[in-house]
């Protein structure tokens, strides 16, 4: 039996950078707060917690003082930096450079157009940490849309400037652009859109489809909280119905059905390589020399 790990799966450079920043700090100080899960993978979080990482939320952050807090790759709104300053909290800023650049673009657009009543619209998941950080660049005024139904939040009599959360799908973005265009064609207002989807994630889609269809059976490994994991797994399942979602090698308890000759192990941008290796190892152990 062939067991192959997808070389393209696993952490994107933004997440690698955040984890390396945490590890560097932990080696020196053995203790570090992290605002939110550093990565949407509980096993990787637990590994770092054993090294001294403590995951906190915004309520806990407000109660801290004179300490150090890591900001993960998703980024944070300006209010978090202001709070840290007030409470003498030093920030280890692991915001992904791609997210940071997007935050700056949105802020620039907001400042340049607010006097004209232009609406900054963000295609993304409402409440998602990255989106909160983006909305914060507009003093909370940006309109977040995730589905076509959400477009009713937009006033089509005012100019529109659209951006995307970095991890959304290109197809979804195109659909939103087309629908807004149809509406603004009726009213004649200005509509500018910026494709700000990170290719680290977007390129995973065609890759995962090709990888999944090239094997008899697929183990897709990701944390249950990962939205990128859910999206990639859906594509995986479409390309190969014999695709199973797991979060841990322990979830594999039985050998594969007779006839399965090749198994692919792949995952999300938040899936650690070591975890995919554990899964591949378990598959080999359970299925012997088939």
Write out the catalytic residue numbers. 130
Q: Does 95 bind ligand SF4 (CB under 6 A)?
A: no
Stretch that binds ligand SF4, among 7-15, 42-50, 186-194, 254-262 (CB under 6 A): 7-15
| CB closer to ligand SF4, 73 vs 84 | 73
Contacts to ligand SF4 from residues 197-216, by CB under 6 A: 198, 200-201
| CB closer to ligand SF4, 52 vs 172 | 172
Rounded to a whole number of angstroms, the minimum distance from the CB of residue 209 to ligand SF4 is 18
Q: Does 129 bind ligand SF4 (CB under 6 A)?
A: no
Q: Does 137 bind ligand SF4 (CB under 6 A)?
A: no
| CB closer to ligand SF4, 168 vs 215 | 168
CB 163 within 8 A of CB 106: yes
Q: Does 96 bind ligand SF4 (CB under 6 A)?
A: yes
- Which of 80, 138, 164, 167 touches ligand SF4 by CB under 6 A? 167
Stretch that binds ligand SF4, among 8-16, 29-37, 180-188, 239-247 (CB under 6 A): 8-16
What is the rounded CA–CA span in Å between residue 136 and residue 83? 14
What is the rounded CA–CA span in Å between residue 210 and residue 202? 14
183-191 contacts at long range (C-beta below 8 A, 24 or more positions apart): 183/151, 183/154, 183/156, 184/156, 184/160, 186/156, 187/156, 187/157, 189/156, 189/157, 189/158, 189/159, 189/160, 190/118, 190/159, 190/160, 191/159, 191/160, 191/161, 191/162
The CA-based diameter of the chain, rounded to the nearest angstrom, is 70
Residues pairing with 217 in the sheet: 263
Which residues make up the interface to ligand SF4 (CB under 6 A)? 12-15, 73, 96, 98-99, 166-167, 198, 200-201, 269
């Amino acid at each position: 039996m062939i067991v192959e790990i997808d070389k393209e799966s696993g952490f994107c450079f933004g997440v690698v950078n955040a984890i390396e920043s945490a590890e560097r700090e932990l080696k020196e100080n053995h203790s570090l707060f992290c605002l939110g899960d550093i990565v949407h993978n509980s096993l990787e979080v637990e590994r770092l917690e054993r090294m001294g990482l403590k995951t906190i939320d915004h309520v806990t952050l407000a109660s801290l003082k004179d300490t150090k807090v890591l900001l993960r790759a998703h980024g944070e709104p300006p209010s978090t930096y202001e709070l840290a300053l007030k409470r003498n909290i030093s920030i280890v800023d692991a915001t992904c450079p791609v997210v940071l650049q997007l935050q700056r673009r949105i802020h620039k657009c907001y400042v340049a157009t607010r006097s004209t009543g232009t609406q900054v619209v963000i295609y993304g998941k409402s409440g998602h940490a990255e989106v909160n950080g983006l909305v914060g660049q507009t003093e909370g005024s940006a309109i977040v849309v995730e589905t076509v139904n959400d477009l009713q939040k937009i006033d089509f009599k005012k100019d529109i400037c659209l951006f995307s959360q970095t991890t959304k799908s290109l197809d979804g973005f195109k659909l939103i652009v087309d629908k807004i265009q149809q509406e603004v064609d009726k009213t004649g207002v200005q509509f500018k859109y910026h494709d700000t989807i990170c290719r680290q994630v977007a390129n995973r889609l065609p890759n995962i489809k090709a990888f999944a269809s090239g094997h008899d059976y697929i183990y897709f490994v990701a944390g249950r909280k990962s939205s990128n994991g859910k999206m990639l797994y859906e594509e995986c399942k479409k390309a190969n119905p014999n695709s199973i979602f797991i979060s841990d090698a322990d979830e594999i308890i039985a050998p594969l059905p007779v006839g399965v000759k090749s198994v692919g192990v792949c995952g999300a941008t938040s899936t650690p390589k070591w975890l995919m290796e554990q899964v591949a190892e378990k598959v080999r152990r359970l299925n012997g020399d088939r």
